[in-house]
Every structure is written in structure tokens, then in C-alpha cells.
Structure 1
């Protein structure tokens, strides 16, 4: 159960005091692996367009969405119940539906494994998502520079070791049901899990539901709400960054509650 809201730091990416920002991030990554960023460089209007285009797609009939079902390159649509992030869950699968979009490699369309809705039906969809993905990657690089400083490394450490030479950045559009059937009571939009990558940016439309567990071995587990903050993005580190720091930084389990 949740016990109030967490008090996570808000890191201002426009601050000129890089050392203070890095120290704030280090404290957050050691304690929980979650924090917020403000002045992140992603325009509010772009975020609104991403949510609007995403909403239009998820409102389509299931058979139309399934025409873009996720392929072997893990790009495209995944229906509800098709994924179960917590293997111990008693349910068939999580309630969420999703659409995955990845980098197109050096802008070469021949290397584009993405699946796109028809431009006739969604004329702005592709350009909106590609712009957001590119802009979010710039924001991630700024955050990773501060993470480098927080580890007493050069600000360009990750770039210098080639961490961005073959980017595996993915935009995941996620839709969680507002109502569930009686047989799904107790199920989650996204069951307990951690992210496998290095860094995740979470943008929400203000709908609550995200919770994290700081002590997974505690019984009963304590799950705490991560509230939405206008103008800020939620950031969490993944398995890769925890491993790279020899577990100095912590990645926590989190889930998405569905609200009935």
C-alpha cells in the first residue's frame, strides 16, 4: 500500500551550478534512483502533441491497432495482457497497451525498423514522434553529463567511452485503462519491475498511479506515490546504470496502479 507522496528532488537543468545539481542527482540515485528535472528543454507544446497523437492511436479499434503489432525488432503495437513485467503475477498479463518507436539509425530510412500509422489517417504522427525522440535524447545526454560529474568523472565520460555510438533509445507510448473488469481487480497497468536500460524519462499527463518500492525485501512492502509535477519530467535509472556503478546507484521496482 502507498504511504503518502515521496519528496524527490527537482533538478533544474538550466542551473549554472553544475556541482550542486550533480550532488542532488547523486543523493537521489543512491537513495531511490528517482528524481525530477525541470527546464529540461522539451517544449510543452511538443509534449501536448505527443499525448494527443498517442491518444488518437489508442482510441482506434483493436483490429486496426493490431495491423501494426510489434515486430521482431520490437517496434509497434502491443495489446493488453500481452506482457507481464512481474513473472510472479497471478494474472495473464498487465493491463497496459503500448506502442514502441526506436531510433532510425543515422536517419537512413532503409534502416528504419519502425512501424508507422498511415499518414493519411495520422498526418502529423511520424514527425511528432521522431522530433520528441530526438529532443528527449538531448535531454538524456544532459542528465548523463550531470551523472558523470556526480561520480567524479568528466562530464563527457559516457560520450567518450562510446555509450552513444549505437543508441538504443526507445520511445514507449503507454496507455492504461481507467476502468477494469471485476476479474482484473488487483491487476496492474504495469506490474512490479525495474527498467533494464541506463536512464528513463517519464512524461505523464497528470494522471496518478506511479508508485515505487524502496525496500523490496521488506514485508509487507511499502509502495509510495510519485506525484506529477507540472513542467517537470520524472527520471529513473535502470539496471544498466546500477551495474555500471557497482550498485552505488539504486534502481527500484515500480508499478502502475490502475484507478477505478
Structure 2
């Protein structure tokens, strides 16, 4: 993203991130841009990824429909021991040193559907999903399952470029065990950092990579150097139809901290 297009939000500077076009036939350029981003900060955009704008907008609409339900209805789908289902306000505390009550957000975890009689269902984080009733939220499950499937395909393409950037074979991360991550629609309701209130406190993700689809409401901030003192936070500009990608702790360790 060009610095000339970056707009400060509430006095916080906007970040400039590399943009990876997944439809490009110039794989060398894609690998070069991604590798530089991973060495510098671990944040970048991906565009032309194959998930239609209509589907992304439908997922936002369906997410708002769920989070707009009465709390009593949402609590019927409270997250289970397999980490599937609804997470209410203050369920997480991502930055306990600075937060008063916890994260002022709601979420909903959805993963690869695994029937109870499947041997994989005995593993942690595997099993059937919890789904809202079709009577209450028609088409909700269909939209989320379709988006989850397509987002996983995007993740596979991104991880192939990551593998090449690490001088590995392109299919190194194709094994499903690397890409069994959940879909998590999330609604951050309010932030007032000066009062210790955060939609989501400062944190690094613990997994491989995160693909984040955002609406046009600004709010996401990133810190490109977690060892800097003081930490420098920058806003990430939403780009219509793009995913914001960040590396997780797992990939940092797998790369011997070369990728951040």
C-alpha cells in the first residue's frame, strides 16, 4: 500500500504493508514481497484471492445478525470443550497488564466439521460445530461453511508462497494438520485505551497464520516490532475485499525466528 494513500486515524499513523496479488503469474515477485514482509514485521495484505466480494459481505451481514440476537439466545450456543460456539463479552483477557475487565468483544468459533463417530473427534479442538437454528438464522450455517472452506483454500495458497520464501518445496505445508484452523466471526464493541477498555487487547496470535477480513470501520492496530520500547502502534487501512494476513507464534518458531 502506498504511503500517499495512508490516512492517520485519531492521531495514530497508518501502516504501509506489502500487497500480495494471489492471481499474479509472477511467483518470484509474490515470494519476494511476502518474504520481505515476513522478515520485517509478519503483516501483509492478499488480494484477488478467489473469495467473492458478495460472499465476504454476506458473512459480515450474517455475523451482525447473530451478534444482534438476545444474549439468552447466544448463550444457548456457548463454546463447548471442543472450542466451538459462542464466546461472550470479557471471555478473553489478551492483555491482562493493561485491561480492566477483559476483551470487550464477542466471538463464535467454527472449525472443520468432524462427526462424533469420526476417530478425529477424540482429539482436542476437533468435533461437530454448534449451529444456530435455521428458524432463527436461516442461511447462517451455509454462509459460514462456504466462507470457511474458501478461506482455507486461500490459506493453502498463502502457505505455499511462505514455503517457497523459506526455500522449501511449495507443498511443504499442504498437510491438513497445518491448516485446521477455525473461522471466528468477531464483533469488537468498544475501545477506550485510556480507561483500560479494549475491544481486543495487545497480543500475538499463537497459530500458523491468521487471515483477517475487516469491514470499513477502522480499529485494527499493529506493532511491527514487539521488542521496541516504547511500542509503536499503527492503524491498518481496510482494503475492500482484501485479507490482512499476520504470522503467528508457531511460524516464528518454525522459522527459527527469521520470520516475525
Number of residues of Structure 1 aligned to a counterpart in Structure 2: 243
Which residue of the partner structure matches residue 105 of structure 2?
Answer: 96
Residues 242 and 127 (structure 1 numbering): CA distance in 2 closer, same or farther, change over 3 Å? same
**For 1:183-213, what per-residue CA distance to the aligned partner results, in whole angstroms no more than 9, with x for missing partners?**
9933110001011110110001111111111
Is 1:176 the counterpart of 2:188 in the alignment? yes
User: Are residues 27 and 165 of structure 1, via their aligned partners in 2, closer, same or farther at CA, if it must alter by over 3 Å?
Assistant: same
Measured after TM superposition, the shift of residue 109 of structure 1 is 6.9
Flag structure 2 segments of 5+ consecutive residues without an equivalent: 1-9, 122-126
Separation in 2 of the partners of 1:100 and 1:131? 15
TM-score, length basis structure 2 = 0.88
Residues 49 and 90 of structure 1: CA distance in aligned 2, closer, same or farther (over 3 Å): closer
Secondary structure, in 3 states, of the residue corresponding to 1:236? Answer: strand
Q: Distance in 1 between matches of 2:177 and 2:13?
A: 41
Q: What's the CA shift for 1:174?
A: 0.5
Q: Does 1:114 align with 2:105?
A: no
> What residue in structure 1 maps to residue 252 of structure 2?
242
Distance 1:38 1:166, change over 3 A: closer
Q: Which runs of 5+ in 1 are unaligned?
A: 251-260
| 8 A Cα contact 1:36 1:235, kept in partner | yes
Q: Which residue of 2 aligns with 1:56?
A: 65
Helix, strand or coil at the partner of 2:252: helix
Task: Kindly indicate whether the alpha-carbon contact (under 8 Å) linking 1:2 and 1:223 is maintained by their aligned counterparts in 2.
Answer: no
Q: Distance in 2 between matches of 1:37 and 1:90?
A: 32
Residue 134 (1) aligns with residue 149 (2):
yes
Which structure shows the higher strand fraction?
1
Please give the residue correspondences for 1:161-172 in structure 2 after superposition, counting only pairs within 5 Å. 162=175, 164-165=176-177, 167-172=179-184
Question: Are the aligned partners of 1:211 and 1:223 in contact in 2 as well (CA < 8 Å)?
Answer: yes
Decide whether aligned partners of structure 1 residues 30 and 166 sit closer, same or farther in structure 2, where only a CA change above 3 A counts. Answer: closer
Over the aligned positions, Cα root-mean-square deviation in angstroms equals 2.0
Alpha-carbon distance change, 223 to 167 in structure 1, aligned in 2, over 3 angstroms: closer
Correspondence 1:191 to 2:191 = no
* Offset from partner CA, 1:2-38 (integer Å, 9 cap, x none): 6411110110000001011011000000101000011
| Alpha-carbon separation, structure 2, partners of 1:52 and 1:238 | 28
CA contact (8 A) 1:21 1:146 kept: yes
> In 1, distance between residues paired with 2:107 and 2:165?
34
**Per-residue Cα deviation, 1:18-72 (whole angstroms, up to 9, x for no partner):** 0110110000001010000110111111111111111001011111111111111
Aligned counterpart, 2:172? 157
Q: Which residue of 2 aligns with 1:23?
A: 32
Match for residue 146 of structure 1?
161
Distance (whole Å) between structure 1 residues aligned to residue 191 and residue 234 of structure 2: 22
Q: CA deviation at 1:169?
A: 1.5
Query: Residue 43 of structure 2 corresponds to which residue in structure 1?
Result: 34
> What residue is the counterpart of 1:221 in the other structure?
231
